[in-house]
Amino acid sequence: MTATLTTPCIIATRESRLALWQAEHVRDLLSHRHGLAVELLGMTTRGDQILDRALSKVGGKGLFVKELEVALEEGRAHLAVHSLKDVPMVLPEGFVLAAVLEREDPRDAWVSPHHADIHALPQGARVGTSSLRRVVQLKALRPDLDIQPLRGNLDTRLRKLDEGQYDGIVLAAAGLKRLGLAERIRAVIDPTVMLPAAGQGALGIEVREDATALRALLADHIDVATWLAVHAERAVSRALGGSCSMPLAAYAQWQGDHLVIEARLGHPLDADQPLVCARAQADLPRTLDATTAAEALGLQVVAQLRDNGGEALLAALAEV
């Protein structure tokens, strides 16, 4: 699929229930708005297969997208739909992010059968998450908590909670809401308490760079406000070499005409170390032409993080 658009259009997707929902959502958008015949190509990625180790130990975010990119490269699929927080900050040569859809709730969610929120947990309670970003922020809030690894798809994580393996778990609110599981959320965690990951809650559509007709079509589906916010966030992660080994949060939101971005960086080896925080804002037009300015705003936050003590944390990360 290069200069002309042929059908059926094939979407490469992971086979988890949430990934399939996301791919079906994009399928329906393309079908209803453009009359395209769209099919799904379900695939199992390395990230789905390795469930006994933290992502930071086995290759990071790219484990969830590599097989999908191979399908694009070989022409077996034309586009891939990703949770943007799972997409590496630098795409392989020959691939581009063609669209970012309107963001769902970007916040983290507290899920627990017995405890209303994190503050209500008893001393030493067991909390499940495999995100270093969440670990360092939970430790900053409640140093006494026993934080244990939690891997698997959304249904697997909820099952482990229901089996009593944890007193509570932290998940992305967006995934729960998309699957009709909002009732499982005991509390949505305010970003002042737990800052989201770069791109959290947003869906990204990846294509081959030479798929010009498809890129033009997908441009109609870009939500500009979300596009600019996540480009600012991803600029933070890209500049700092963001990976699953780095406890980094970056979240941008609009306040009128201002795009305001905050970032937090934790110690990669000692979650009890204080977080390094930074914040910046800029007056931006909500147009795709402002993408470079949004990324520049992210770099302002990077400079602040480094000045505020982030250099020492980055040096520790280099030793991981």
Catalytic residue numbers read 86
Tokens of 236: 């933070």
Q: What is the DSSP string of the chain?
A: --SS--SSEEEEEE-SHHHHHHHHHHHHHHHHHH---EEEEEE--HHHH--SS-HHHHTGGGGGTHHHHHHHHTTS-SEEEEEGGGS-SSPPTTEEEEEEPPP---SEEEE-SS-SSGGGSPTT-EEE---HHHHHHHHHH-TT-EEE---S-HHHHHHHHHTTS-SEEEEEHHHHHHTT-GGG-SEEEPTTTSPPPTTTT-EEEEEETT-HHHHHHHGGG--HHHHHHHHHHHHHHHHTT--TTS-EEEEEEEETTEEEEEEEE--SS-TTSPPEEEEEEEE--SSGGGHHHHHHHHHHHHHHHIIIIIHHHHHHHHT-
Examine residue 8 and say whether the peptide bond preceding it is cis (omega within 30 degrees of 0).
Answer: yes
Q: In angstroms, rounded to a whole number, what is the distance separating the alpha carbons of residues 145 and 239?
A: 31
Q: In angstroms, rounded to a whole number, what is the distance separating the alpha carbons of residues 271 and 10?
A: 43
